[in-house]
Amino acid sequence: MDATARPVSTPRLTRFLHLLRSAPLTAQFGMVVTLAYALVALFAPLIAPYGEVEVVSRVPFDGWSAEHLLGTDQLGRDFLSRLIYGARNSISIALITTILSLTLGCLLGMFAALVGGLVDQVLSRIVDALMSVPELIFILMILSILGGSILNLILIIAVLTSTRFYRISRAAALNVASLDFVEAARARGEGSLWIAVNEILPNILPLILSELGMRFCFIFLNIAALSFLGVGIQPPTAEWGSMVRDNAALINMGNVTPLIPAAAIALLAIAVNFVVDWMLNRASGLSEEA
Amino acid sequence: MSFSSRPILSMVLSRLGLGLLSLVIVSLVIFSAVALLPGSYASAILGQNATAEAVAAMEEQLGLNDPWFLRFLRWLGAAATGDMGMSFAGRPVMDVIGPRLVNTVVLAAITAAIAVPLSIALGIVCARYRGRFIDKFLSTTTLASISIPEFFVAYIVMMLLAVKLQLFPSMAGIRASMDWGDQLYRMVLPILTLLLVILAHMVRNTRAAILSVMASPYIEMARLKGEPESRVVMRQALPNAIGPIASVVALNLAYLISGVVVIEVVFVYPGIGQAMIDSVRNRDVPVIQACALIFAAAYIGFNLIADVISIVSNPRLLHPR
């Protein structure tokens, strides 16, 4: 196997590089920015000049200086360090939530499509009901009652978002499930789970991947909004949404520092959306402007 | 028409039924949220005065010993007549959120009145000049603007227009005693922010709705007959895209709801979103329930309108063979 795999991998790599080079400028920009964020998140402790919750100055809301490049926050912690650690916290929590909801939604969606009948009906009606509530309001209500721990936040958002993955994977799987090779697998006597993973999933993957990117953005923005409203990720954990809220007083004095975490949120979401948009265009096979 | 309107009627009725069903399910979830509250509801109301006898008496008085579905029906019936019970702070919930609800509706209505015509016009321009600079520019900015958190837009607007240029007040704390002009003056920044948040979405969807019609054979036919492109868009595509556009508009008004909460908090606008966040912080469950119910009802309502419009405007359903 190894001997045959090697020579194949080189053209595959060049093809991949060629694909990246053929991507539109917006998508390339998106990929570079996303990669940069990932690196910052991974190596946060190495990059950050101070600790995440370390009080480094007696002066709260200190201005920008050589010592504290972006000044200090409301408790005298280094703003830049918290911004860097915030990348790690915000992105990892959003990523975990996305993957959780993807797994839950896609498995249930493919299951419903393959089994059909009453199971499909019941699951679909539950999903309809969950989707008919405004997300932010629903999360706010549940969090206010259960308390705003990170675990609760992840679970609630993952379950609510899995409805979107359910919808899209069920619809896509329904199309694939009627094709001949699925019939063949069934005739061979394969189980539903085997068919779902080996036959259906590879065929609906492009669609699900672009949905994954889009949902990551929504979850990321939702968590930021919740933290901004004071019910998401709680202090002292550094998180971009709550950093904006805690330092918002500076805005009325004409200081732009509190806007930096907000801009960081926006930039990442834009970058991911640019990549997703390109993938969607490729997946649908129509390149409108090309 | 009388015989042909029947399939539409049944579809619309079934949509209404589904909407009502999801409203009941949502209200059931909202109602049962109380059961998840640590400690009992009665002791939560009584707070510091929660002696065992007082709690028992309160439970009796509120009918908390009845079966849950009886309590749910009673709660739902009261909510339907506008009685949301007492807040934990001791005031009737409707007294707390009633005036704020009016403020929020005014804010949303003014925003919608500006956003709807503007976004349809821009969407038509994009579809007409597809692939040109204006279209690419608007497409890219819309893609960017759905990725920007609402509070970022709000603070940038505040920074530029209130702090730097000092044109408008940064806090939109309106009171009933102010006259209309003054209230409107203070609402400018929240409205502007909401517009920026919602406009891109609506333009993008309007453009998509028109473009999907533009792919039809009769558009090709009209082009082959030599009609100018703007006439094709305005006379052939637009009338057929009105259904999808209207449903897009309704969907986006539903999307406005979560934006309203954040923007009210940023500008300290005394609306129902702000009331909900305050009560979440104080864990005032009856107020949270009332706000959640109102938001959910509005959201379901807008989605329902979107569905009904797209059913009613479908010519195949209007003239069945």
Residues A7-23 have pLDDT tens digits of 555 677 888 888 888 88
What integer is the mean pLDDT of A100-113?
91
Average pLDDT over every residue of B123-147 = 80
Inter-chain CB proximity B262 and A288 less than 8 Å: no
Q: Is the pLDDT of residue B5 over 70?
A: no
CB contact under 8 A, A270 and B303: no
Q: Are A228 and B262 an interchain contact pair (Cβ–Cβ within 8 Å)?
A: yes
| Residue where the block lists tokens 């004409």 | A254
Contact between chains at A259 and B277 (C-beta distance less than 8 A): no
Q: Do A228 and B131 touch (CB under 8 A)?
A: no
Q: What does the mean pLDDT of chain A come to?
A: 84
- pLDDT at B321 (0 to 100): 52
Distance between CA A165 and CA A99 in Å, rounded? 11
A202 part of a folded domain:
yes
A245-251: list long-range contacts, CB under 8 Å, 24+ apart. A246/A73, A246/A74, A247/A61, A247/A73, A247/A74, A247/A79, A248/B155, A248/B266, A249/A61, A249/A74, A250/A61, A251/B155, A251/B158, A251/B159, A251/B163
Q: How many domains, in total, are found in chain A?
A: 1
Contacts of B280 in chain A (CB under 8 A): 140-141, 143-144, 229, 231
In chain A, pLDDT over 90 holds for what percent of residues?
Answer: 23
Kindly state whether A138 is in contact with chain B, defined as any CB-CB distance less than 8 angstroms: yes
Over range B252-257, report the average pLDDT.
Answer: 78
Look at residue A137 and tell me whether its pLDDT is greater than 70: yes
Is residue B78 predicted with pLDDT exceeding 70?
Answer: yes
> Above 90 in pLDDT, residue A32?
yes
Question: Least CB-CB distance to A136: which of B18, B261, B303?
Answer: B261
Residue B7 has pLDDT above 90, yes or no: no
The answer to ipTM > 0.85 is no
Average pLDDT over residues B191-207: 86
CB B285 to CB A241 under 8 A?
no
Asked if residues A47 and A84 have their Cβ atoms less than 8 Å apart, the reply is yes
Task: Out of A255-259, B61-65, B106-110, B182-186, pick the least confident.
Answer: B61-65
Report the candidate in A87, A84, A259 with the shortest Cα–Cα distance to residue B152: A259
Q: How confident is the model at residue A283 (pLDDT cuts 50, 70, 90)?
A: low
Chain B contact for A272, CB < 8 A? yes
Residue B303: list chain A partners with CB under 8 A. 132
pLDDT at B318: 60
Higher pLDDT, B219 or B47: B219
Residue A7 is assigned to a structural domain of this protein: no
Q: Does the beta-carbon distance from B170 to A141 stay under 8 Å?
A: no
Calculate what percentage of chain B has a pLDDT beyond 70. 89
| Nearest Cα residue in chain A from B135 | A289
Residue A230 is part of which domain span?
Answer: 26-50+71-284
Q: Which chain A residues touch B299 with a CB distance below 8 Å?
A: 132-134, 137
Mean pLDDT, rounded, for B45-59: 73
What pLDDT score was predicted for residue A100?
95
Residue B105 has pLDDT above 80, yes or no: yes
**pLDDT tier at A289, thresholds 50, 70, 90:** very low
Asked if the structure places residue A12 within a domain, the reply is: no
Residue of A nearest to B297 (CA): A133
Give the whole-angstrom CA distance, residue A254 versus residue B159.
7
Cβ <8 Å between B147 and A135: no
- Check whether A286 has a pLDDT greater than 80: no
> Which residues fall within 8 angstroms of residue A260, CB to CB, at 6 or more apart?
A70, A79, A83
d(CA A167, CA A173): 10
Question: Within a domain: residue A60?
Answer: no
User: Which carries the bigger pLDDT value, residue B27 or residue A38?
Assistant: A38
Residue B25: list chain A partners with CB under 8 A.
Answer: 129, 132
Residues of A in contact with B300 (CB under 8 A): 132-133
Report, in angstroms and rounded to the nearest whole number, the Rg of chain B calculated over CA atoms. Answer: 24
pLDDT digits (tens, 9 = 90+) for B159-184: 888 888 888 887 777 777 778 888 88
pLDDT level of residue A37 (50, 70, 90 thresholds):
very high
What local confidence, expressed as pLDDT, does residue A126 receive? Answer: 83
Distance of CA B75 to the CA centre of its chain: 24
Return the CATH number at A176.
1.10.3720.10
User: Which tens digits make up the pLDDT trace of A236-255?
Assistant: 888 999 999 988 888 888 88
Which of residues A134 and B119 earns the better pLDDT score?
A: B119
Assign residue A126 a region (left: φ > 0; alpha: ψ between -120 and 50; beta: otherwise): alpha
Q: What pLDDT score does B316 carry?
A: 67
Confidence class for position B317, pLDDT limits 50, 70, 90: low
Q: Is A29 part of the contact surface with chain B (CB cutoff 8 Å)?
A: no
pLDDT at B191: 92
Report d(CA B123, CA B200) in Å as an integer: 9
A11 located within any domain: no
Global confidence as pTM: 0.82
What mean pLDDT do residues B23-50 have?
Answer: 72
Band of residue A2 on the pLDDT scale cut at 50, 70, 90: very low
Residue B308's nearest CA partner among B17, B18, B11 is B11
Please say if the pLDDT value at position A162 is more than 90: yes
* A55 part of a folded domain: no
**pLDDT of A93 higher than 70:** yes
Closest Cβ–Cβ partner in B19, B144, B296 for A270:
B144
Query: What is the pLDDT, as a whole number, of residue A154?
Result: 92
Decide if A115 is inside a domain.
yes
The predicted pLDDT at position A111 comes to: 87
Residue B2 — very low, low, confident or very high, per pLDDT cuts 50/70/90? very low
pLDDT band at B192 (very low <50, low <70, confident <90, very high): very high
What residues 178-217 of chain A have any CB closer than 8 A to a CB of chain B? 217
Is residue A219 less than 8 Å (CB to CB) from chain B? no
Chain-wide mean pLDDT for chain B? 81
The answer, yes or no, to whether residue A191 has pLDDT greater than 70, is yes
Q: Are A144 and B283 in contact (CB under 8 A)?
A: yes
Q: Is residue A189 part of a domain?
A: yes
Of the partner residues B163, B281, B296, the one whose CB lies closest to the CB of residue A254: B163
pLDDT value, residue B35 = 67
Chains A, B: CB pairs < 8 Å: 143
Return d(Cα A88, Cα A95) in angstroms, integer.
10
pLDDT at A290: 32
Minimum CA–CA partner of B264 in chain A: A229
Residues of A within 8 A of B36 (CB-CB) are 145-146
Say if residue B6's pLDDT is above 80: no
pLDDT exceeds cutoff 80 at A288: no
- Rounded to a whole number, what is the distance in angstroms from the first to the last CA of chain A? 40
Residues of chain B above pLDDT 90, percent: 6
Kindly list the residues from chain B whose CB atom is less than 8 angstroms away from the CB atom of residue A272: 147
